[in-house]
Structure 1
Amino acid sequence: MTTYVLVPGFWLGAWAWDAVAADVRARGHEVVAVELGHAPGDTAETHVDDVRRALSGVDRAVLVGHSGGGPVCAAAAERARDRVARLVFVDTGPLPDGVAQVEFTPPEVQEWIRAAVEKDGTGQPMPTRAEFAELGTSTEGISDARFDEVHARSLVEPAGAVLTGVRRGTPDPSLPKAVVACSFTPGQVRPMIDAGVPGFAEMGGPEWSFVELPTGHWPMFSEPDRLAGVLAELR
């Protein structure tokens, strides 16, 4: 039996993992879905604290981060190494020390996000499906009805989580790490690893592996059964 600690990406609560968690539990494993803080004052660093609190109650977990939860999990694993047996990034990856999620997007997308945060006053609301298409984020595989349901339950992502990064330590090469590639392919990542692009260069070590799960950026909604199967193999 393996314990999986599942961390959602931007705008989502622990509920986003419900279908995946049910499948993984049915396979005989334990699951802890993390609720990240969405108060106006929360930051990427307070999200690391949220994950560390979840890890404090488990032993040798597979820590899984989706999207904006990926960089948070990377930092949490470095600070609670004794609690983590494997680190899994779902359609995401680690970011360098102090680099915010917004900084890892094209300039025009950064401008759009910063304007959305300024307009809201506390953070970034979840974009509409049309806005995601304009921003280059794939919602493939999610029906309109399901997307509308997710959007209705979404939370404003605090400005501090969008606009600030986390403190990184030294990655442990003995910790197995996997990327579940959904809206991109390992082949697209490899040239950036080889070129030493920050955020990708880290993925070049022998402890890293890639699993392809072709779909949109939210496989917990578009392919929950297949994602559960992939996670069950990453123990």
Structure 2
Amino acid sequence: MTAFILVSGMFTGTHVWQETAARLTAAGAQAHSVALTGLDGPRAATGTGGIDLETHIADVLAAIDALDTAADQRIVLVGHDYGIHPAIGAADRRARRVDRVVHLDSGLPRNGVPALAALPDQPLREKYAGWEATDGDAGGDTNGDADEASDGVLPPPAHDEWPRWGSTAGVPGTALDRLTALAAPQPLGTLLQPLRLTGAVDSVPTTGVLCTGNGSSIEMVQMLVGLGDPALRALTDPRVTFFELPTGHWPMLSCPAELTDVLLRAAAGEGHRLEPVDATAPPAHLGPFLLDVPEVPRERHGTVDLHLPDAEEPRPAVVFVHGGPVPADARPTPRDWPTLTGYARLAAEGGAVGVVLDHRLHDLTDYPRAAADVAAAVELVRADPRVDADRIALWFFSGGGLLAADWLDTPPAWLRCLAATYPILAPLPNWGLSGTRFRPARAVAGAGALPVVLTRVGLEMPEIAATVEEFLTAAKDCGADVEVIDVPHGHHAFETIDRTDEWRAAVRRAMRTVLALTGPDEAP
């Protein structure tokens, strides 16, 4: 018999699992939802002082130890949202008893890192950064406020604030009402105390259940693995499986029947397995550019590369802004990726200075400093005597698309064109950026007469395609000047996958359009 131990996320208790637990029991399994101290039962009402992550790990350990060791039981730990942190902590200490850990729309907890780092709320992460407690003492806090923070609470969301913590897509109104009514304050100590792991949990098989309505998908994870992030390499282990659910962050409330089926299949070892990275072959993003373009002189200025046309008078410049996040230790860095250098050379062939830069978008929290890097690079380019400072285009790719917001909101007079290729144009729900300025779909209202050239791929990941449609709807409402170049059979990052006439034509058309708007004499 399989015994599921269900661990809820922030602000919530055992009540969120009621229907899923009943369905698991009806299917012949056992289901035990864990009452986390301070979030469930009397302590939720009487106070949360002294409650930290270790308290919740102890709650999960108690649920494991309460099961009959003599019975032939397979224990599956299910951690939703924040709940994956105490679940992983407990599995590390009972690795021989736990058969599988299910990450239900949750992150990948790491040793020494508090749950705060995984919260989908950047302002909150910034507020409490450096206040993590280590072995009961304040770590990194110079103001003496860490103990106070650890003993405090995070108030539960109001009814209309739940999307700040994850998409509520699919949750019935009555269920959202109940979720709000029963929500409890989250003890800050549970978020600030670093998780301590021995490594024993690494031997336990895992399953990730990704809720696509919240911004996650198997295709996206596979793409991130392909970029070479060391933290994600373990996900290609055959003991790791994945499922998708077409819903928001609360599948136990929006689709309990489908969630039950997925949990039962996960317990049986089913699910999608990622393609392992072939260490003997270059990753897709390092494959050749889909067009044959001539080499041109290249100059390196710090983190900025200039690909120079054959011209004596000042020329327009096209600044190419890569996507991300890209791991900080990725080598080569993006400005040496064949696709980006290919675009820059194509621009130079057409008479413009092609510019590629490395910016510091290494994590979802890095958008502010990546935006500063792009702004600094643009100023460096405009100051170059070989560049016509009044004829500049900016071209954004993929996750770099959010960086377009600043330029759309208040376009400078010298910005002749803004281009975006398979961009993300609104933060995904689980990115924690909804309250920040990095939302092109909102910023486009300030674009005025600035021309926008958008390359849209027909086989885009649905969660990204939704942000493009949101942008186009907003652009239409405000009368923005947007030209859409469709690539019906194109995937995200299609230039790195293969070469087709359709894809070549789309790249050439986009470049011709951008160069015409910046005013060079020729176009490729």
Cα distance, 1:123 vs structure 2: 1.0
Cα distance, 1:203 vs structure 2: 2.8
The CA distance in 2 between the partners of 1:147 and 1:172, in whole Å, is 34
Is 2:117 the partner of 1:103? yes
Please name the residue that 1:57 is paired with: 66
Provide, for residues 4-59 of structure 1, a one-character-per-residue CA deviation record: whole Å limited to 9, x for no partner: 11111111111211000000000111111111111332111211111011000224
Is 2:193 the partner of 1:164? yes
Per the alignment, in what secondary structure is the counterpart of residue 167 of structure 2?
coil
The CA distance in 2 between the partners of 1:43 and 1:201, in whole Å, is 30
Gaps spanning 5+ residues in structure 2: where?
39-47, 68-72, 130-147, 268-524
Is 2:280 the partner of 1:224? no
The CA distance in 2 between the partners of 1:65 and 1:166, in whole Å, is 15
Q: In 2, are the aligned partners of 1:66 and 1:89 still within 8 Å (CA)?
A: yes
The CA distance in 1 between the partners of 2:203 and 2:182, in whole Å, is 38
Q: In 1, are the aligned partners of 2:88 and 2:201 still within 8 Å (CA)?
A: no
With the length of structure 1 as denominator, give the TM-score of the two structures. Answer: 0.87
Deviating more after overlay: 212-221 vs 40-49: 40-49
- Picking from 81, 84, 96, the partner of 1:67 is 81
Matches within 5 A, 1:111-126: 111=126, 122-126=152-156
The CA distance in 2 between the partners of 1:122 and 1:181, in whole Å, is 31
Output the amino acid matched with 2:123: E
Deviating more after overlay: 185-194 vs 87-96: 185-194
- Picking from 219, 224, 229, the partner of 1:187 is 219
- Picking from 42, 51, 56, the partner of 2:51 is 42
Provide, for residues 71-124 of structure 1, a one-character-per-residue CA deviation record: whole Å limited to 9, x for no partner: 22112111011221111110013311121222234643424688xxx89x7211
The CA distance in 1 between the partners of 2:202 and 2:192, in whole Å, is 28
Q: In 1, are the aligned partners of 2:112 and 2:195 still within 8 Å (CA)?
A: yes
Q: In 1, are the aligned partners of 2:152 and 2:187 still within 8 Å (CA)?
A: yes
Q: In 1, are the aligned partners of 2:36 and 2:56 still within 8 Å (CA)?
A: yes
- Higher RCO (Cα < 8 Å, 6 or more apart): 1
The CA distance in 1 between the partners of 2:194 and 2:224, in whole Å, is 21
With the length of structure 2 as denominator, give the TM-score of the two structures. Answer: 0.41
Output the amino acid matched with 2:24: V
- Picking from 172, 178, 182, the partner of 1:153 is 182
Is 2:172 the partner of 1:143? yes
The CA distance in 2 between the partners of 1:192 and 1:50, in whole Å, is 34
The CA distance in 1 between the partners of 2:177 and 2:257, in whole Å, is 21
Cα distance, 1:136 vs structure 2: 6.4
Is 2:244 the partner of 1:212? yes
Cα distance, 1:206 vs structure 2: 2.5
The CA distance in 2 between the partners of 1:158 and 1:107, in whole Å, is 18
Cα distance, 1:175 vs structure 2: 2.2
Please name the residue that 1:78 is paired with: 92
Higher gyration radius (CA): 2
Output the amino acid matched with 1:222: S
Please name the residue that 1:127 is paired with: 157
- The structure-2 alpha-carbon separation of the partners of 1:217 and 1:15, relative to structure 1 and needing over 3 Å to count, comes to same
Cα distance, 1:172 vs structure 2: 4.5
Cα distance, 1:174 vs structure 2: 4.1
Per the alignment, in what secondary structure is the counterpart of residue 11 of structure 2?
coil
Give percent identity, aligned residues only: 32
Provide, for residues 134-158 of structure 1, a one-character-per-residue CA deviation record: whole Å limited to 9, x for no partner: x362111112332121111011110
The CA distance in 1 between the partners of 2:218 and 2:127, in whole Å, is 28
Gaps spanning 5+ residues in structure 1: where?
none
Q: In 2, are the aligned partners of 1:100 and 1:163 still within 8 Å (CA)?
A: yes
The CA distance in 1 between the partners of 2:16 and 2:128, in whole Å, is 22
Output the amino acid matched with 2:161: E
- The structure-2 alpha-carbon separation of the partners of 1:130 and 1:189, relative to structure 1 and needing over 3 Å to count, comes to farther
Please name the residue that 1:178 is paired with: 207
Please name the residue that 1:4 is paired with: 4
Output the amino acid matched with 1:160: G
Cα distance, 1:202 vs structure 2: 4.2
Per the alignment, in what secondary structure is the counterpart of residue 82 of structure 1?
coil
Q: In 2, are the aligned partners of 1:20 and 1:224 still within 8 Å (CA)?
A: yes
Cα distance, 1:230 vs structure 2: 0.8
The CA distance in 1 between the partners of 2:200 and 2:235, in whole Å, is 11
Q: In 2, are the aligned partners of 1:40 and 1:159 still within 8 Å (CA)?
A: no
Output the amino acid matched with 1:30: Q
Output the amino acid matched with 1:27: A
